[in-house]
Structure 1
């Protein structure tokens, strides 16, 4: 903070390791190890202009396509929230949620927030079990959604 109370812009990029995910469920407050897939792209349409003098196409934006969001978290005793949400998905019927992914600063305040609209689970991958392993058990949840917006900066 600067002396007049306004926030000073940082000269350094934000670190990626401090974030919070709000799934709008009882899982709020459970930390995630990784979040990735925050991408959006426009498909390209090659438009053939009839009045083109150089006989070439013009590239124009097409349908917007959103990436699948991947969430990884440690497995906790008697915590089945991922499974219960996935169980709600039936043929052509699903309980969709708004998910917020927050990038936090060193004081824990949200600096950026991505909002996933109409999100629902499409896949759960359980941890690999190995008798000679020493890693933490991690579940992976894949989420489809119909919109990705940056809602706070």
Structure 2
């Protein structure tokens, strides 16, 4: 015969991960910063193109009739475009000029998602062996009153999440 549990017994401890009915706030897309070789090189207003794709190869086995299977193929990474306010700092421009001269300087870039406080790191993507492939200046307009926002496009060899 099974023993009856005492009515005052505390419930068993649960894993700290996501639980049914538990409210989990998503990260805010505006709370991020970029580190280039571990240094915060500027204040970026936007980071787009952070993506990875595994191509599916079609494969038809002999004797399997009309069945076409899919196998993982080449992995490709998106081009990451960084938008930033134009300043006197020459760091990003100098990095781009190395690519123009045919000898790109490969650097490790980290995209950090920050907590609601805007300071605490919550998530990180590491773009390994990144280098700039495109620079675009903001349109100049004598009648406008906008901040000059330049963009720099990077390619990278691999990505990891930490």
Normalization by structure 1: what TM-score?
A: 0.85
- State the match for 2:64 in structure 1: 52
Gaps of 5+ in 1: 1-6
Q: CA RMSD in A?
A: 1.9
Could you say what secondary structure the match of 1:15 adopts? Answer: coil
How far apart, CA to CA, are the structure 1 residues paired with 2:140 and 2:58? Answer: 48
How far apart, CA to CA, are the structure 1 residues paired with 2:155 and 2:17? Answer: 36
Q: Structure 1 25/133 Cα, relative in aligned 2: closer, same or farther at 3 Å?
A: farther
- State the match for 1:94 in structure 2: 104
How far apart, CA to CA, are the structure 1 residues paired with 2:116 and 2:156? Answer: 29
Normalization by structure 2: what TM-score?
A: 0.80
How far apart, CA to CA, are the structure 2 residues paired with 1:25 and 1:114? Answer: 13
Q: Structure 1 103/86 Cα, relative in aligned 2: closer, same or farther at 3 Å?
A: same
Q: Structure 1 128/81 Cα, relative in aligned 2: closer, same or farther at 3 Å?
A: same
Could you say what secondary structure the match of 1:82 adopts? Answer: helix
How far apart, CA to CA, are the structure 2 residues paired with 1:16 and 1:37? Answer: 14
- State the match for 2:30 in structure 1: 17
Which runs of at least 4 in structure 1 moved beyond 3 Å after TM superposition? 7-10
Which one of 90, 100, 103 corresponds to residue 113 of structure 2? 103
How far is 1:148 from its partner?
1.3
How far is 1:24 from its partner?
2.1
Structure number with bigger Rg: 2
How far apart, CA to CA, are the structure 2 residues paired with 1:46 and 1:113? Answer: 34
Give the number of equivalent residue pairs: 141
